Amino acid sequence: MAMKTRTIIYSIKQGIKGSWRNRMMSIASITSIASVLMILGIVFMIVININSFSEITKGQFDTIQLDLEDDLSDGDMQNIGKSVKSIDGVKSVYFLSKEKALDNMKKKWGENGYLLEGLQKNPLPNSYVVELMDMRYADEVVKRVKGLQGLEEVRYYKDLVEKILKITDFIRLAGLIVIGVLILISMFVVANTIKLTVIARKKEIGIMKYVGATNWFIRCPFMIEGMILGVMGSAIAIGVISFGYKYVFDLITQKVYVMIAVYMVPAPVFIKSIAIIIAVLGIGIGVLGSIISMRKFLRV
Amino acid sequence: MAMKTRTIIYSIKQGIKGSWRNRMMSIASITSIASVLMILGIVFMIVININSFSEITKGQFDTIQLDLEDDLSDGDMQNIGKSVKSIDGVKSVYFLSKEKALDNMKKKWGENGYLLEGLQKNPLPNSYVVELMDMRYADEVVKRVKGLQGLEEVRYYKDLVEKILKITDFIRLAGLIVIGVLILISMFVVANTIKLTVIARKKEIGIMKYVGATNWFIRCPFMIEGMILGVMGSAIAIGVISFGYKYVFDLITQKVYVMIAVYMVPAPVFIKSIAIIIAVLGIGIGVLGSIISMRKFLRV
Amino acid sequence: MIKFLNVTKQYQEDKMALSDMTVNIDRGEFVFLVGPSGSGKSTFIKLLLKEIDPTIGKIKIDGKDITRISQRKIPHLRRKMGVVFQDFRLLQDKTVYENVAFAMAVINTSPKEIRRQVPNVLALVGISDRANMFPHQLSGGEQQRVAIARAIVNNPSVLIADEPTGNLDPETAWETMKLLKQINRRGTTILMATHAKDIVDMMQQRVIAIENGKIVRDDQKGVYGYED
Amino acid sequence: MIKFLNVTKQYQEDKMALSDMTVNIDRGEFVFLVGPSGSGKSTFIKLLLKEIDPTIGKIKIDGKDITRISQRKIPHLRRKMGVVFQDFRLLQDKTVYENVAFAMAVINTSPKEIRRQVPNVLALVGISDRANMFPHQLSGGEQQRVAIARAIVNNPSVLIADEPTGNLDPETAWETMKLLKQINRRGTTILMATHAKDIVDMMQQRVIAIENGKIVRDDQKGVYGYED
Ligand SMILES: Nc1ncnc2c1ncn2[C@@H]1O[C@H](COP(=O)(O)OP(=O)(O)OP(=O)(O)O)[C@@H](O)[C@H]1O
Ligand SMILES: Nc1ncnc2c1ncn2[C@@H]1O[C@H](COP(=O)(O)OP(=O)(O)OP(=O)(O)O)[C@@H](O)[C@H]1O
Ligand SMILES: [Mg+2]
Ligand SMILES: [Mg+2]
């Protein structure tokens, strides 16, 4: 065990020395890693926000509306509300009176609202708006609700919601594919960079082997060098991406259109998740890159 | 001149030989170039389509609606139509009768359309819908139109259009910045890659200098090597991006939601422009990358 | 301790670098390997180090057939041998001190022991004052001496040297030979490929002469034996 | 033709590699540069090639002060000189043939002339049969001969050789010396740094002995002059 500790201390020292002595190459590697991670961050940012936008939009249609018959007593209405609330998958139920519904409609129509003034009597029914825990429960809830007395109609934007769901799913999938491809590509770029570093030090590795060094003894300092490069590359990428996102977010909030910001993932949340992703990837890429790219040269 | 030709032929031969003999490094460089260009292509794809989406959406609000007074004769109405048509910046004018307008409204409201059945009389006016050649003319046209007799109201979605315009501008700007940053980053990555190639061949360059080779004699084969790498990297990137875009486009058209495809840039148009951009960038990056990264080593 | 049994090495179709060589070197011997340029001396050494494998034949070290040992055992094989390469093979990004220290670190010597031993060895080969320089800052002869220091620092049981005096002036060369003889007296087997006629003639040790990949002479207390 | 005027070269604060050296070598001379390891021989040669610049002093070649010429003129300066480096410095990714051909292509020789001349030179140094091999496939002595072939292929007016026989057996070394003498007879100035006592003593040429960066002896028809 004392042997191992010694090797590890030696590796750390050599790794730091190595990345400092090959400063130029280290800088090249770090900028490459940072660049690729930044690109990844940008794409992640785009995808996550499109996703967030869809989710929020979808949420607005994510309800079932139960129109009540016109001549129900208050007690009947309350009973219906309670029955609905007890159904599995129902998150909340709230009562929307016919007056309130007309009011909402007027507001929603804005400039055209005056058209509704021309109505002789309020044609809208009282209704319950049912919020679901998840879209998956929709069909089940609708079926159960339809068995209740006193309902005139069950309105449910099934087609619309399903379209939005389809689009959201597609965007999420496309996003995942793009991010997956990007991770692969960045692995590739970084592995190549480190491979070039290793090729440039091929002779050195050969010499180590001739002096009787084991593969792990040779590999360790390179891995630590790779880790150092990964950490520094990640740090730069995290800094730039965080700062950039905060800047864009603030810009949108203040200058462009405040309403968009509602659909965006807030800066702290985004920064926290992207920082973890970038750090894990950067370090992983650095270490794995070293190991992969050294394989060939250890067979001497 | 014979000298120069000889040097060029020599350089081409050496460039090809060089990239073949350093196969491993060439493959590393090519994949790096291809990867970065692919990332660029993906971002370009995202930006160009968001842009296209905004443009098309904007176009749908790009009209002025002129509500006519209720008691105009057919002749009066036609005169107004002609006058409007003659205004600078007006692209087309079409007549929307009050019956047609109510019909449209019923259709648009879909499920809620039944509400309009309850109306005693059609509250909507006859109107002209004016399409503009460009948003820039809007204010001018509105001013001129307001001078006309027989108009009850001029409705123009100025705020909405301006908001959309603002968003579109923002997206376009953000897109350009992201693409600009990506080009810089990719230049960096590739220059680094080639720099590493050159570092690995530092000794070789030194030897050439000692044999009495001029800087240009040394540089040329490397530049041609860089060009070869650039061309091959671009080719791969163009292939993957073109194929990928066509695949996604077809997928969306057939499987997801045909309507989205309307908002997308058609595959041939996209492929043509991205191919040119990638090719120019790839080759430029290859050649410039070589030149930049060799500077340091020629001072021996 | 070292046994070549019918070893043939063929790099390319048409020509044999070593052909059907059988030789036996005992523990504690001092052997010169001589022969014209391209006769196969370095090939012999590379085979010992398992840098290359023979096309045909067996090579035994301490009774073990090294053509059959697993990849993982190679480092341990090499630790038995100190090597001075014809082209030095120093680590370019390590100083003289670190190059020597590295060879010790590889076999897990304690830092304390390294700090004690390295200066001794550098003094022995006469380059103490170059300890903190990098190989490219040294003269050819100085690099060669660093290579020797690295080869002997771990007290290997075999010391292999390919042309260790090629870049040294006669005086330094003789000092190096005295050093090798001294190491040999402590029981280390020494195998040295060389073109230095004077040295071979003077040292009166076993001489194996190779020509075209074949042993043409193997004398105890031999001489270089090629005429000008 | 070559003039060193009070040249001092100091790589580092404390020690001078060359100190206040003044020397004159005429066209057509054959000069041996001898001295212990680290005395400054390679430094002298590197100064001539403008690989490094002197700390103080002037170096004139053909009457031109090379410490003052512009970066752009350096290639043309170097074309006057053929050089054999102590560490060969062959292009690793070019074959033997291409290494030699490259030196010709650099000075814009026609392909026809290259195809005619390269085989001649390779035959002259005796490595025709290695023409299509890469440097790492050659023995030390073979690489040294490729370096010599490359140095002489352009008929330089000065041939500079740093230890050109260090890796050669005595016989091949002598053949190389005969070759150099022959080239010298055609009017080429030759400057050779060496430790080969036998050769220097036998050749009876001018010997410049350096010690600690100073010229300690400069004899016409001299000898190596260091005792074992
Ligand atoms: N990797 C290789 N591929 C092909 N041929 C090789 C290779 N290595 C060596 N050779 C050839 O094998 C022969 C023996 O080479 P070796 O290096 O053993 O000679 P040597 O006796 O050490 O010569 P020197 O004294 O010049 O160093 C030479 O002719 C050489 O060209
Ligand atoms: N780049 C450098 N930086 C620092 N010191 C150097 C550098 N190059 C050479 N030296 C030192 O200058 C001195 C002279 O070196 P030089 O290479 O000229 O010796 P040499 O006479 O060629 O020796 P050898 O016969 O061993 O090749 C040596 O002590 C060497 O350590
Ligand atoms: Mg050899
Ligand atoms: Mg020297």
Per-residue pLDDT of chain D (228 residues; tens, 9 = 90+): 899 999 999 998 878 899 999 999 999 999 999 999 889 999 999 999 998 999 999 999 999 999 999 888 889 899 999 999 888 889 888 899 999 998 998 888 888 999 999 999 999 888 999 999 999 999 888 998 999 999 999 999 999 999 888 888 888 889 889 989 988 998 999 999 999 988 999 999 999 999 999 999 999 988 887 554
Q: What is the mean pLDDT of residues A160-182?
A: 68
Single-letter residue type at B68: L
- Ligand 1 pocket, residues with Cβ under 6 angstroms: C 11-12, 17, 35, 37-43, 86; D 130, 137-142, 167
User: Best mutation site among D87, D136, D139 for ligand 1, i.e. most ligand atoms within 8 A of its Cβ?
Assistant: D139
CA-nearest residue of chain D to C177? D228
The sign one gets for the Cα dihedral B136, B141, B143, B144 is: positive
Single-letter residue type at D147: A
B105 pLDDT more than 60: yes
Contact D110 B22 (CB under 8 A): no
Backbone angles phi, psi at A66, to 5 degrees: -105, 110
Instruction: Give the per-residue pLDDT at A186.
Output: 64
User: Best mutation site among C11, C12, C162 for ligand 1, i.e. most ligand atoms within 8 A of its Cβ?
Assistant: C11
- Structure confidence at residue B160 as a pLDDT band (50, 70, 90): low
Comparing C-alpha atoms, which of B262, B240, B242, B243 is closest to residue B252? B262
- Structure confidence at residue B161 as a pLDDT band (50, 70, 90): low
Q: What is the mean pLDDT of residues A222-243?
A: 88
Mutate to test the interface with D, among C174, C195, C224 (most CBs of D within 10 A): C195
**Contact map slice: D 109-168 vs C, CB within 8 A:** 137-142, 144-145, 162-163, 166-168
Please list every residue in chain B whose beta carbon sits closer than 8 Å to the beta carbon of residue A253: none
Instruction: Give the per-residue pLDDT at A194.
Output: 65
Instruction: Give the per-residue pLDDT at B7.
Output: 80
Coil, strand or helix at D206: strand
Of residues A212 and B294, the one with the higher pLDDT is: A212
Q: Are B241 and B274 in contact (CB under 8 A)?
A: yes
Comparing C-alpha atoms, which of A206, A210, C51, D165 is closest to residue C43? C51
What atom in ligand 1 is closest to the CA of residue C210? 21
Neighbours of A163 (CB within 10 A): 16
Contact B210 D92 (CB under 8 A): no
Tally: H helices and E strands in chain D: 7, 10
- Chain segment A31-55, per-residue pLDDT in tens: 777 877 887 787 777 777 777 776 7
User: Best mutation site among D7, D10, D43, D48 for ligand 2, i.e. most ligand atoms within 8 A of its Cβ?
Assistant: D43
Q: What is the mean pLDDT of residues B123-127?
A: 81
Q: Please report the domains of chain B, with CATH numbers, ordered by start residue.
A: 7-58+162-294 (no CATH), 70-149 (3.30.70.3040)
What atom in ligand 1 is closest to the CA of residue C35? 21
Instruction: Give the per-residue pLDDT at A300.
Output: 57
B35 pLDDT more than 80: no
**Is D145's C-beta closer than 6 angstroms to any atom of ligand 2?**
no
Contact D172 C198 (CB under 8 A): no
- Lowest-pLDDT choice from A181-185, B228-232, C213-217: A181-185
- Structure confidence at residue B162 as a pLDDT band (50, 70, 90): low
- Chain segment C94-141, per-residue pLDDT in tens: 899 999 998 998 888 888 999 999 999 999 888 999 999 999 999 888
B258 pLDDT more than 60: no
**Is D14's C-beta closer than 6 angstroms to any atom of ligand 2?**
no
Q: Are C114 and C67 in contact (CB under 8 A)?
A: no
Contact B256 A185 (CB under 8 A): no
- Chain segment A151-163, per-residue pLDDT in tens: 877 777 666 666 6
Residue D188 near chain C (CB below 8 Å) = no
Residue D110 near chain B (CB below 8 Å) = yes
- Structure confidence at residue C13 as a pLDDT band (50, 70, 90): confident
Instruction: Give the per-residue pLDDT at B1.
Output: 41
**Contact map slice: D 32-51 vs B, CB within 8 A:** 49, 51
Contact B31 A124 (CB under 8 A): no
**Is D39's C-beta closer than 6 angstroms to any atom of ligand 2?**
yes
**How close, in Å, is residue A198 to chain C by CA atoms?**
13
**How close, in Å, is residue D153 to chain C by CA atoms?**
22
Q: How far is the CA of D167 from the centre of ligand 4 (A)?
A: 14
**How close, in Å, is residue A38 to chain C by CA atoms?**
32
Single-letter residue type at D64: K
Going by C-beta distance under 8 Å and a sequence separation of 6 or more, which residues neighbour residue B99?
A: B122
Nearest CA, atom 17, ligand 2: C139
| % of chain C at pLDDT higher than 70 | 99
Of residues A147 and A56, the one with the higher pLDDT is: A147
Contact A32 B193 (CB under 8 A): yes
Instruction: Give the per-residue pLDDT at C157.
Output: 93
- Structure confidence at residue C205 as a pLDDT band (50, 70, 90): very high
Nearest CA, atom 25, ligand 2: D37
Verify C-A touch: 3 or more CB pairs within 8 A. Answer: yes
Going by C-beta distance under 8 Å and a sequence separation of 6 or more, which residues neighbour residue B145?
A: B64, B66, B84, B87, B130, B151, B154
| Helix axes of A23-59 and B158-200: crossing angle, nearest 10 degrees | 150
Q: Please state whether the predicted TM-score (pTM) of the whole model is above 0.95.
A: no
C-alpha D2/C-alpha B119 separation (Å) is 113
Of residues A43 and A220, the one with the higher pLDDT is: A220
Q: Are B44 and B179 in contact (CB under 8 A)?
A: yes
CB-closest option in D75, D85, D111 to B212: D75
**Is D37's C-beta closer than 6 angstroms to any atom of ligand 2?**
yes
Averaged pLDDT of chain A: 77
Coil, strand or helix at D215: strand
Angle at B218 between CA B212 and CA B219, to 5 degrees: 150
Backbone angles phi, psi at C224, to 5 degrees: -60, -45
Strands C214-219 and C206-211: what pairing?
A: antiparallel
For residue C43, give the ligand nearest its CA: 1
| % of chain A at pLDDT higher than 90 | 3
CB-closest option in B203, B204, B213 to D106: B213
A248 pLDDT more than 80: no
Instruction: Give the per-residue pLDDT at B159.
Output: 62
- Chain segment A95-139, per-residue pLDDT in tens: 888 888 888 777 766 556 666 676 767 777 888 888 887 767 777
Coil, strand or helix at D15: strand
CB-closest option in B204, B212, B300 to D106: B212
**Is C167's C-beta closer than 6 angstroms to any atom of ligand 2?**
yes
C227 pLDDT more than 60: no
Averaged pLDDT of chain C: 91
Instruction: Give the per-residue pLDDT at B20.
Output: 81
Please list every residue in chain D whose beta carbon sits closer than 8 Å to the beta carbon of residue C36: 141, 169, 171-172
What is the ipTM for the molecules in this complex?
0.71
**Is D35's C-beta closer than 6 angstroms to any atom of ligand 2?**
yes
CB-closest option in A35, A119, A120 to B188: A35
CB-closest option in B10, B22, B207 to D105: B10
What atom in ligand 1 is closest to the CA of residue D144? 26
Going by C-beta distance under 8 Å and a sequence separation of 6 or more, which residues neighbour residue D222?
A: D32, D200, D205, D206, D207, D209
- Lowest-pLDDT choice from A234-238, A273-277, B118-122: B118-122
Instruction: Give the per-residue pLDDT at D228.
Output: 44
Of residues B257 and A269, the one with the higher pLDDT is: A269
Of residues B45 and A186, the one with the higher pLDDT is: B45
**Is D43's C-beta closer than 6 angstroms to any atom of ligand 2?**
yes
Please list every residue in chain A whose beta carbon sits closer than 8 Å to the beta carbon of residue C74: 209
C-alpha A35/C-alpha B58 separation (Å) is 35
Task: Provide the token pair at A158.
Answer: 């099934």
- Chain segment A250-270, per-residue pLDDT in tens: 877 765 555 556 677 788 888
Q: How far is the CA of D213 from the centre of ligand 2 (A)?
A: 10
Residue C70 near chain A (CB below 8 Å) = no
Contact B212 D90 (CB under 8 A): no
- Chain segment C60-79, per-residue pLDDT in tens: 999 999 999 988 888 989 99
CB-closest option in A22, A207, A214 to C75: A214
CB-closest option in C37, C42, C167 to D168: C37
Instruction: Give the per-residue pLDDT at A114.
Output: 67
**Is C170's C-beta closer than 6 angstroms to any atom of ligand 2?**
no
- Structure confidence at residue A1 as a pLDDT band (50, 70, 90): very low
C-alpha C171/C-alpha D36 separation (Å) is 8
Please list every residue in chain B whose beta carbon sits closer than 8 Å to the beta carbon of residue D76: 212
